[in-house]
Every structure is written in structure tokens, then in C-alpha cells.
Amino acid sequence: NAGVTQTPKFQVLKTGQSMTLQCAQDMNHEYMSWYRQDPGMGLRLIHYSVGAGITDQGEVPNGYNVSRSTTEDFPLRLLSAAPSQTSVYFCASSQLDRQGNNYGYTFGSGTRLTVV
Amino acid sequence: AQKVTQAQTEISVVEKEDVTLDCVYETRDTTYYLFWYKQPPSGELVFLIRRNSFDEQNEISGRYSWNFQKSTSSFNFTITASQVVDSAVYFCALSAQGGYNKLIFGAGTRLAVHP
């Protein structure tokens, strides 16, 4: 019963490098999302997906790409890392009812990313 | 536009004191959901409560209680007889019907409970 698994837990990148943050859930949830957490700003939505093959932008999508080839996985790609992307990243998943309302979010344990 | 405001950035109390964390939200939707999450120093996000807009009944769970008032668009969280283990950052969040329910977070309130 793993829930939402994020890897890696910590990462240091140099400016301009690319990398992928992994997120996997084993609850067969339709909805998955990526948030970033910065001091004093709460969590802000980067990208989300309502099912395999469907993704959309959130509040702060620039500099990030996502794809959803399976229900279980929702990786987040940083194309060319910048110091402004230093943050803690959380992946979350939830189940939707027929009206599109969710029953609550399950969060991963987070990835602390530092870009130098 | 949807927005969640947690005006209290930091609160410091002594153990056994009661403390209330304020949350004010904005939405034009008639159906929406409100959440509280706890983030202890270890960093994970712990779900505390989910409340829909049609249920204004107050909720109590042990030392925790929540006061939902649609008239003032508030969803406040009270910890009774606080303990050191309650020290954490607490987030209030809003999710509205349809639109795939993007979760909008407040900035969080950092609660420090001292022995």
C-alpha cells in the first residue's frame, strides 16, 4: 500500500541541466498533479492530469513539461533548470466522482530540488 | 477567481493553550470543498479534514475542531490543549466543483508550541 511515491527525495542541479522528477501512484487514481512549495507562498499548481493522455497547465507551468502515458505515472520534466526552480516539489493524486469532484488528495513525500 | 487567505503567518503558544488558525476563502462556485493539511517538520503533507460547501456543521476530532461559516467565508481550525507535537505548518485549501478541482492553497500558518 505505497500510495504516492516520489523520487528522488533530494537533487542538486546545475543551471541549464535537465532532469525528470518521478511520481507513481498505486491507487488507480484518475487525477494527478504537481505542486511546488516555496516559503510564504503555500503550494502552487504546476501541471495536472485528469487521466492517461490528458494533461493541462496549472498556475506556474513555465519551465516544466509533463506527460501521462499510464494511469500510474506522472513524471515532471525540467527542461533547462534555473535557480528560480529551487523548491520542494510535491506530487498528488485523487479520485474523481462523476461530477468531477475529488475525494481528497494523497500527497507524495516531496522532492527537494536545488539549482545552483 | 478562487483564493485562500491565511493571514496568520506564525503563531507561538505555550503547551496546553488553545489556538485557532484562521482561513478565509473566496469562490463564486456554489459547490466547493475545503481542506486542512498539516506539514510537520519532516515535510510530508498530512490530510486533516475535507468539508463540502453544503455541510456547515462543525466538526470535532479529538483535540481538533473546525468551524465552517459560509456567511463569512471562513473555515477556522482550533486546537484545544495544544501539544509540542502540534508544531507544524498548517495549510487551508479550496477545491471547486468541476474544472477538475485544482486545489488552491493558502500560504500556510506556522504553529510553534513550546513546552
pLDDT, tens digit, 9 for 90 and up, residues B43-83:
999 999 988 888 888 888 899 999 999 999 999 999 999 99
Q: How far is Cα A55 from Cα A51, in angstroms, rounded to an integer?
A: 8
Nearest Cβ partner of B103 from A103, A105, A110? A105
* pLDDT, tens only, A27-86: 999 889 999 999 888 899 999 998 999 999 999 999 999 999 999 999 999 999 999 999
Arithmetic mean of pLDDT, B7-22:
97
C-alpha to C-alpha distances, A40 to A45, B52, B58, B88, nearest whole angstrom: 15, 26, 28, 14
> Does A99 score more than 80 pLDDT?
no
Confidence at A2, pLDDT banded by 50, 70, 90: confident
Q: Cell numbers 493558502 correspond to what residue?
A: B106
Q: Cell numbers 518521478 correspond to what residue?
A: A22
Is A107 in the B-facing interface, judged by CB distances under 8 Å? yes
B21: left (phi over 0), alpha (psi -120 to 50) or beta: beta
Nearest Cβ partner of A101 from B33, B37, B102? B33
Q: How far is Cα B110 from Cα B115, in angstroms, rounded to an integer?
A: 16
pLDDT for A101 equals 66
Arithmetic mean of pLDDT, A6-10:
96
Judged by CB atoms closer than 8 Å, whether chains meet at A110 and B44 is answered as yes
Arithmetic mean of pLDDT, A78-99:
90
Chain-centre distance for alpha carbon B17: 18
Cross-strand partners of A13: A115
Interface test with A, best of B2, B45, B110 (most A CBs within 10 A): B45
Structural contact between residues B65 and B86, judged by C-beta atoms closer than 8 angstroms: no
Q: How distant is the Cα of B82 from the closest Cα of chain A, in angstroms? A: 23
Structural contact between residues A32 and A96, judged by C-beta atoms closer than 8 angstroms: no
- Residue length of chain A: 116
Arithmetic mean of pLDDT, B88-94:
96
Structural contact between residues B63 and B55, judged by C-beta atoms closer than 8 angstroms: no
Arithmetic mean of pLDDT, B3-31:
95
Judged by CB atoms closer than 8 Å, whether chains meet at A102 and B43 is answered as no
pLDDT for B29 equals 87
Within 8 A of A42 by CB-CB distance, chain B residues are 4, 6, 91, 105-108
Over pLDDT 90: what percentage of chain B? 74
Q: How distant is the Cα of A101 from the closest Cα of chain B, in angstroms? A: 6
- Which grid coordinates are listed for B44? 510530508
Q: Which of residues 39-98 of B touch A (CB under 8 A)?
A: 43-45, 47, 50, 91, 93, 95, 97-98
